[in-house]
Each structure stands twice: as C-alpha cells, then as structure tokens.
Amino acid sequence: MSAKGALVEGMNGGDMGLDEAAQKPHDRLGEWLAADMEAVNAMIRARMASEHAPRIPEVTAHLVEAGGKRLRPMLTLAAARLCGYDGPFHIHLAATVEFIHTATLLHDDVVDESTQRRGRPTANLLWDNKSSVLVGDYLFARSFQLMTETGSLRVMEILSNASATIAEGEVLQLTAAQDLATTESIYLQVVRGKTAALFSAATEVGGVIAGASAEQVQALYTYGDALGIAFQIADDLLDYGGTSAAIGKNVGDDFRERKLTLPVIKAVAQADAAELAFWERTIAKGRQEDGDLEQALAIMARHGAMEAARDDALAWAAKARAAIDTLPDHPLRGMLSDLAAYVVARIN
C-alpha cells in the first residue's frame, strides 16, 4: 500500500488504450465542476490563513498547491450536484474533506518519515516534524469549523466517524504491517482507514447536504467505499507490476518496505512451509537479499495471487458502479461510473 498522494497521482497516468472520454474521468469531473472547484479553492486559501502564525499557510500551501488532483472534494461536489443541490454548503464540505485529507498527509509523512510527496520534498523535511504535526492539527480543527458552518448534525456525525476510522486504520496498520497473520478482513479495515473512509464520507455528505433520500445517501456511501477499496487494491497490484512512470514509484517498493498488501496476503494464505519461511524472512523479519523480489513474484504467480487480487478490485469497482445506478440520470453519474472503471483499467 503506497501513500495516498501517489494513488491520486497514479490516476493521471498514461494512455490505457481507452478512448479519450473514458480515459480521464477525473479531468471531465474537474471541467464540469470548474466553477464549484474555484469556490472550493478560494475557501481553502481563505481558511488556511492564520492571522498569528504564518508558518501555517506556508506549510499548508506547500502541500495544497503542489498539484494534487482534488479528487475527494470533487466527489463531494459531484454527489451534491447529482442530487440536485443548489445551496452554498457543498463548497464548505468539499473544503472540509480536502483539509482532512491534507492533515492526514502531513501526519502520514511524519509517521512514515517520508521525504517526498507529489514529487516535492515533504513538509517535515522542509520545515520539521513539529510543524507537520501542529499544522495538521490546525487543519483538522479548521475542517471541524467548516463542517459546523453547514448546520447539519448528520454531516458532522459522518465526518467525525470517518476521521476516527482514518486514525484507527492508521494505528492498525502500524501494528499489522509486518504481521503475517494479517487477514483480508484486517486489510480491508486498514484500507478503509487509508482511503475508503474519506472517499465514502465525501460522497455521503454530498448526498446528505442535498437532502437526498436515505437510499440515495446509502448508494453514495457504497460508491465511495467501493471506489476507495478498488483504488487501493489496484495500487497494491501496480506496485508489483506497474512501470515506474505509471505509478510514480518503483516496482517492488511495497515489498522492500515489507508492506503486507493484498497479493501478498493471498499468497501467504496458501503458502507451503518453504514459502512461509520465505515470507517470514523477507516481510516479517525484513532480511531481504538480491533476487527476493523475483522470488516473491514467482510465489504469487504460483498461487494466482495477483489475478485473485485483480478480480477483487474489479468486483469492488463493479459494486461502485452498480451502487449509483439508482441515482438520478445525470452526466455526473456517468462520470462517477467512468471513474470507478478507470481506477481498475490500469490493472485490467
């Protein structure tokens, strides 16, 4: 599992052999939602200001203006517009979601001791860990101020629950990362924390603020959840099979960093004694040698672990697309559906 930023970058990848319309659904979303996104960006700039502590906008701007794809705020805007929303608060919620995301990136980089994010030095490297921790806290607090302004208790409930799931998933990953007993069910909890919880909250609050029916809100939640999981599994697979250019990192990084991603978990579940010893040495103990990556790939191929993980990703993407079938017929619905197809097109 790679850092979340890389995932979003990965979506801007090369020619997948699809036609232009299907190729970059997030760009089409960006065009359709351009006016809203401009308002979101203005709100982000206004709310990241600090009268007293100029370090805060410096650190935030470094990350916010580094060219992330703003996928999460677009999900909120798309969900709200798709459900016919015409008020002002989808902008607050989109900015809220981006602030939560930015805060988690700042803290993740401290936790992972990262030095690069979106192709630039990380804030913890440019300033220090202290600034990353405290500016992250500031953005969390700002995100709660923003969501409070919507006046919707349901929205606050969804986003505070998502924040707890995110933090819980990250703590779980700390302890589960190199534990060969990690099951697919724990993997899903970690993935929900890393990616899917904020995706599903982003789409769900868009529906809630629009006053959508309980069924529609549930469909938006399911879409965001399944999209996030498909997204993360695809990223795990690309780490073992993609080209550097397509994924923004080197093949085998997860293996070298001893991350128990879905293909490995599937291979471990079927391992014989010799294979288990291999995973024990390379992942649990981290004693890696030349040729181990190739050996890992061979073991995974033997058990069809990559294919099984790919099938899972395709199933989650299909679930995402099916969920929003019940939503109103709308160009945005088509783009969201294409987006779900796109995240797995890279691995299919």
181 binds a copy of itself (CB under 8 A): no
133 binds a copy of itself (CB under 8 A): yes
348 binds a copy of itself (CB under 8 A): no
Q: How far is the CB of 102 from a copy of itself (least distance, A)?
A: 13
Query: Using CA atoms, how far apart are residues 121 and 116, in angstroms rounded to an integer?
Result: 5
Task: Report whether 58 contacts 152 (CB < 8 A).
Answer: no
Region of 71-79, 151-159, 214-222, 262-270 interacting with a copy of itself (CB under 8 A): 151-159
Region of 24-32, 157-165, 290-298, 304-312 interacting with a copy of itself (CB under 8 A): 157-165
Nearer to a copy of itself, 148 or 288 (CB): 148
130 binds a copy of itself (CB under 8 A): yes
Q: How far is the CB of 163 from a copy of itself (least distance, A)?
A: 4
Helices 89-111, 129-149: inter-axial angle, 10-degree rounding: 160
45 binds a copy of itself (CB under 8 A): no
Per-residue DSSP letters for 303-342? Answer: TTHHHHHHHHHHHHHHHHHHHGGGSPP-HHHHHHHHHHHH
157 binds a copy of itself (CB under 8 A): yes
46 binds a copy of itself (CB under 8 A): no
CA neighbours closer than 13 Å in the CB half-sphere of residue 178: 12
Nearer to a copy of itself, 89 or 140 (CB): 140
List binders of a copy of itself among 248-287 (CB under 8 A): none
The 64-103 site mask, x for binding a copy of itself (CB under 8 A), equals ----------------------------------------
- Burial of residue 78 (CB within 10 Å: 0-12, 13-18, 19+) is buried
- Tokens linked to 111: 């936790």
55 binds a copy of itself (CB under 8 A): yes
Region of 4-12, 163-171, 226-234, 270-278 interacting with a copy of itself (CB under 8 A): 163-171
Query: Using CA atoms, how far apart are residues 68 and 344, in angstroms rounded to an integer?
Result: 20
Q: Please give the distance of CA 69 from its chain centroid, rounded to a whole number.
A: 11
Per-residue DSSP letters for 233-288? Answer: HHHHHHHHH--HHHHTS-TTHHHHTT---HHHHHHHHT--HHHHHHHIIIIIS---
170 binds a copy of itself (CB under 8 A): yes
- Tokens linked to 14: 């090369």
Q: How far is the CB of 32 from a copy of itself (least distance, A)?
A: 31
Helix spans in 151-191 (H): 153-176, 184-191
Nearer to a copy of itself, 135 or 233 (CB): 135
Binding interface with a copy of itself (CB under 8 A): 50, 52-56, 104, 107, 110-111, 129-131, 133-138, 140-142, 144-145, 148, 151, 153, 156-157, 159-161, 163-164, 166-172, 174-175, 186, 189
